[in-house]
Amino acid sequence: MAEVIANGVRLHVQRLEPRGGASADSPIVVMVHGMVMDNISSFYFSLGTCLADAGCDVICYDLRGHGRSERTRGGYRLADSMADLAGLLDALGVDRPVHVVGNSYGATLALAFGLEFTARVASLTLIEPPFLIEGLGEEMARSLSQILVAMTDDEVEEWLDNGAGRAITKATRAAQRLLSDTTIATDMLATPAFSAEALAALPIPVLAVYGENSDIIGQAAGLAALVPECTLIVLEHHTHMVLREATGYLRDLLRWWLFDRRTPPPPYVRPTERRFVTPEWVTQMVPPPDLNTGRRPAVG
């Protein structure tokens, strides 16, 4: 397993290259996954191998505390995450600007990294970034409390013990440990707001992708209005989970973004077989109502 010490933390990294290896002019793409219930695998399988196969030099890694990276007690503020990423690029000897692709919190981190380390970034792809000028920390804490509620309820415990299966149970237990053993919750609440002035001066091209049915779709317009070079793509019939739901289109979109940006973006054909919506239990912050019904005897 590839491990790198960056900013004093042991990070799990996977470098993916096209057959025969990347060349000196291959785009370097760094992928940053989401918070708590996520790890390196979401990008590895959705865009990582695909973009490497298309000719990119791809770096996927587990954020501090996630996946197979070291779970330190502290160091989960946005500034720490940025220092981890900068340290990772240093440790890997990356000395030219990279294309950063982030999902959810990873996209918010990518945008902050672009503002802080502008010379190190060639472009930003932000998939469903929580984005607010006011109250970003509270928004992060809100997302986190959604995850917390979904993991600490009695119904959920029963499901994990009996019906969830090994893979989901392992992932959930790891997330529970991250929340209980580290300062991530308070660190998230301390996320500073973005500066509108700094965003208005951002000299980096930004591709922003949201799902039309995402619970944070209301934040898309503000981002697109503030960032000068922003291409906003809103995918009909999709939610905050668009990376998983619309992997095929995002593969086409990223190939266009990295190799063919002078042409119009690839046409999006909304799925007819399924219309993804955000379930009410997500916005209401309660566990899914049918979690244990399959195993319990029917009532009445």
Partner 1 sequence: MSVQETAGPGGAGRAETETRVLGEVTEDLREVIGEEYVIDMDITMETTFSQDLELESIEFVALADRLRERYGEAVDFVGFLARMDVDQVINMRVGEVVQFIVDSLPAPATAGSA
Of 38 and 139, which has the nearer Cβ to partner 1?
Answer: 38
Q: Tell me how far CA of residue 43 lies from CA of 46, 48, 52, 257, in angstroms.
A: 5, 6, 12, 17
| Binding residue (CB under 8 A) for partner 1 from 6, 9, 16, 82 | 16
Check binding of 4 to partner 1 (CB under 8 A).
no
Burial level of 108, CB count in 10 A (0-12/13-18/19+)?
buried
Give the span between the Cα atoms of 111 and 113, in whole angstroms: 5
Of 171 and 232, which has the nearer Cβ to partner 1?
Answer: 171
Listed ranges 11-19, 150-158, 193-201, 259-267: which one lies at the site for partner 1 (CB under 8 A): 11-19
- 3-state DSSP assignment of residue 143: helix
Tell me which residues in 38-97 interact with partner 1 (CB under 8 A). Answer: 39-42, 44-46, 49-50, 52-54, 67-68
User: Least separation, in Å, of the C-beta of 293 and partner 1?
Assistant: 22
Q: How many residues bind partner 1 (CB under 8 A)?
A: 30
Of 9 and 227, which has the nearer Cβ to partner 1?
Answer: 9
User: Least separation, in Å, of the C-beta of 52 and partner 1?
Assistant: 5
- 3-state DSSP assignment of residue 228: coil
Listed ranges 164-172, 180-188, 253-261, 291-299: which one lies at the site for partner 1 (CB under 8 A): 164-172
Of 44 and 76, which has the nearer Cβ to partner 1?
Answer: 44
Please choose, from the candidates 80, 265, 99, the residue with its C-alpha nearest in 3D space to the C-alpha of residue 182. Answer: 80
Check binding of 165 to partner 1 (CB under 8 A).
yes
Please choose, from the candidates 56, 122, 111, the residue with its C-alpha nearest in 3D space to the C-alpha of residue 259. Answer: 56
Tell me which residues in 187-226 interact with partner 1 (CB under 8 A). Answer: none
Check binding of 177 to partner 1 (CB under 8 A).
no
Check binding of 167 to partner 1 (CB under 8 A).
yes
Whether the CB-CB separation of 27 and 99 falls below 8 Å is answered with yes
- 3-state DSSP assignment of residue 229: coil
Q: Name the token pair of 219.
A: 């934040």
Check binding of 237 to partner 1 (CB under 8 A).
no
DSSP for residue 48:
I
Of 142 and 244, which has the nearer Cβ to partner 1?
Answer: 244
Whether the CB-CB separation of 182 and 98 falls below 8 Å is answered with no
Q: Name the token pair of 19.
A: 């057959």
User: Least separation, in Å, of the C-beta of 212 and partner 1?
Assistant: 21
Check binding of 269 to partner 1 (CB under 8 A).
no
Check binding of 120 to partner 1 (CB under 8 A).
no
User: Least separation, in Å, of the C-beta of 133 and partner 1?
Assistant: 34
User: Least separation, in Å, of the C-beta of 191 and partner 1?
Assistant: 26
Give the span between the Cα atoms of 122 and 113, in whole angstroms: 12
Ramachandran region, residue 237 (left: φ > 0; alpha: ψ -120 to 50; beta: rest): left
Give the span between the Cα atoms of 165 and 148, in whole angstroms: 20
Which residues contact partner 1 by CB under 8 A?
A: 1-2, 14, 16-20, 39-42, 44-46, 49-50, 52-54, 67-68, 165-167, 170-171, 244, 247-248
